[in-house]
Amino acid sequence: MRRIVVVGGVAGGMSAATRLRRLDEEASITVLERSGHVSFANCGLPYHLGGVIEKRSSLLLQTPESLAARFAIDVRVHHEVRAIDREHRRVSVRDLATDESFELGYDALVLSPGARPVVPNLPGMSVAHTLRDIEDLDHLVAAARDVEAAVVIGGGFIGVEVAENLVHRGIPVTLVEATDQVMAPLDPEMVEPVHDALRAAGVQLVLGASVERIEPAHVTATTLDDGTVATAVGVPVVHLSDGRALPAGLVVAAIGVRPERALAEEAGLAIGERGGILVDEQLRTSDPAIFAVGDAVEKHDGLDASSVLVPLANTANRQGRVVADVIVGRPGADRPVLGTAIVGVFGVAAAAVGWNEKRLRAAGRPHRVLHTHPGSHAGYYPGAETIALKLLVDPDTDAILGAQAVGRDGIDKRIDVIATAMTGGLTAGELADLELAYAPQFGSAKDPVNMLGWVDRAVADGDVETVQWHELGAALAAGATLVDVRSPAEHAARPIPGGVNVPVDDLRARMDELPDGPLVVHCEVGLRGYVAARLLAQHGREVRNLDGGYRTWRAGTAATHVAEEVSAPA
């Protein structure tokens, strides 16, 4: 009889345990979990805070009892594994309820300890809440009662979700993010709708400032007339690097997570360059009897096989299943990760897959960039919402390197389709040939994903040359003339400075009005600009099209202004 011990009883750990039972009815399977709950919906925690998920019990997908009944798994909550004795293949366990310790032998040990929230070592930070498990949630819910203002530190997906849900509770929220944008997976010109949604919902967004210290709540004591002393407890004040002081009855730190690796490290298991537990393709650590999965391990990047940390539930669950197969001796191998992710906030969804432009640039990897702004479904059918889409493509191979989508509808679908295309090895141009389900309420005869394929081919085939939003200034400085091919009304309402206006439909007739020399054409989103560029090129003009049109330019420029303000001395 195999003895299997699993450390951590949530996404990766419990997926491994249940799969192990399905594969081996005889094995002894013990799951040790430090917190008071297993198999809870981590990803749902923020939504119970905001009352979106009404019942706390909805978050508890399984209990030790249900897992014992169905899978004959010995699940022990409030049990922390303190050390691994690799030589004797046993773990030392602390029962946190009784404070007693004991040893437990294993033939195979699975570590799925997850990742812990980073809490910066700053004065007063101990008042800050973090959100990782049910206990954290309970504390947060209790602390959120009668709070007049909250500060959320960190604009990653958990910070953004917590901010949204505090607003749902009616608490005014300031979100403080040290960089110049929330949601780091998005490039700066893509993030604007998320910033807008946060602001429109009343979140005070502070970008480019960091927390320097938290001043504890002052207790003021007043001696009353009758000689008794009345004490009043104030609220902590969050002091920012830009000098702001924000009184906040509630502070939540959500500046990221780090692999929970102490146990592995102390046992002498190899740790990778990113600080995660190092595992091979079979999820084996440097000790062949010990496996590790989930947020705690380093993964291999789907594009360049480099080590990456991808703390996402899909990966943790899949690895849990793979490790079970490996342990019973079946073929099973971990896959490189694309890191597909999505967040929803106040009705806006933002999703990404693969690499973003920031990362491609930092790595010096050549890339072609495309921006489009299609409707989520056919424009003639009511309710279509604009999607901001970005595709990053390898200019040599046409391989898809990454994609981003932001908007109110159809975001998850487009990113899922592109993630699937990447996994299937389709090129960017091949997106044009996908047969996607079309009726007017669901998409377009040429779906936004198809359209990305055509826009890509137009560039790849040399039919059009594009200028990116951040290259426009240089192009104009080098002498190009900017031609706005939108209607006069659009030109007047939303101009790019320095542009002359000749609508695309008048171009053939008014071509002689255009000054000599290189041209950059632009429209609202890039389509009419492309049509104009094709026309002008065939009439012998040197012309480039502003990729993504006015909209991408405006979003990018707005983001740059933020960045400049942020980096300017306070």
Ligand X SMILES: CC(C)(COP(=O)(O)OP(=O)(O)OC[C@H]1O[C@@H](n2cnc3c(N)ncnc32)[C@H](O)[C@@H]1OP(=O)(O)O)[C@@H](O)C(=O)NCCC(=O)NCCS
Ligand Y SMILES: Cc1cc2nc3c(=O)[nH]c(=O)nc-3n(C[C@H](O)[C@H](O)[C@H](O)COP(=O)(O)OP(=O)(O)OC[C@H]3O[C@@H](n4cnc5c(N)ncnc54)[C@H](O)[C@@H]3O)c2cc1C
Check: CB of residue 142 under 8 Å from CB of residue 38: no
Three-state DSSP at 161 gives helix
What residues between 368 and 407 interact with ligand X by CB under 6 A? 372
Cβ closest to ligand X, residue 249 vs residue 320 = 320
* CA nearest to 209, candidates 231, 232, 179: 179
Backbone angles phi, psi at 451, to 5 degrees: -60, -40
**Interface size with ligand X, residues (CB under 6 A):** 28
What residues between 376 and 415 interact with a copy of itself by CB under 8 A? 378, 380-382, 411-413, 415
Q: CB under 5 to 8 A by kind: which of ligand Y, a copy of itself, ligand X, none does 415 bind?
A: a copy of itself
Does position 19 bind ligand X by CB under 6 A? yes
Contacts of 511 (CB under 8 A, 6+ apart): 536, 539
The torsion region of residue 283 among left (phi > 0), alpha (psi -120 to 50) and beta comes to left
In whole angstroms, the minimum distance from the beta carbon of 210 to ligand Y comes to 22
- Binding segment for a copy of itself (CB under 8 A), chosen from 65-73, 76-84, 260-268, 543-551, is 65-73
Does position 31 bind ligand X by CB under 6 A? no
Give the whole-angstrom CA distance, residue 279 versus residue 293.
Answer: 8
Cβ closest to ligand X, residue 246 vs residue 519 = 519
- Buried b vs exposed e over 424-450: b needs ≥16 C-beta within 10 Å? eebbbbbbbebebeeeeeebbeebbbb
Q: Kindly tell me the burial class for residue 140, based on how many C-beta atoms sit within 10 Å of its own C-beta (0-12, 13-18, 19 or more).
A: buried
String marking each residue 141-180 x if it binds a copy of itself according to CB under 8 A: ----------------x-----------------------
Among 5, 6, 34, 39, which residue interacts with ligand X (rule: CB under 6 A)? 39
- Binding segment for a copy of itself (CB under 8 A), chosen from 45-53, 103-111, 140-148, 283-291, is 45-53
In whole angstroms, the minimum distance from the beta carbon of 489 to ligand Y comes to 32
In whole angstroms, the minimum distance from the beta carbon of 399 to ligand Y comes to 25
**Per the residue annotation, which of 43, 61, 217, 289 is the catalytic one?**
43
Q: Is there a catalytic annotation at residue 523?
A: no
Among 76, 90, 284, 321, which residue interacts with ligand X (rule: CB under 6 A)? 321
Give the helix/strand (H/E) hosting 152. strand 150-153
How many other C-beta atoms are found inside a 10 Å radius of the C-beta of residue 24? 17
- Binding segment for a copy of itself (CB under 8 A), chosen from 141-149, 239-247, 355-363, 441-449, is 441-449
Check: CB of residue 46 under 8 Å from CB of residue 252: no
For the chain, the straight-line distance linking the first and the last C-alpha, in angstroms and rounded, comes to 66
String marking each residue 327-366 x if it binds ligand X according to CB under 6 A: ----------------------------------------
Q: CB under 5 to 8 A by kind: which of ligand X, ligand Y, a copy of itself, none does 294 bind?
A: ligand Y
Contacts of 112 (CB under 8 A, 6+ apart): 6, 7, 8, 10, 11, 12, 13, 16, 292, 293, 294, 296, 316, 320
In whole angstroms, the minimum distance from the beta carbon of 158 to ligand Y comes to 5
Show which residues are catalytic: 43
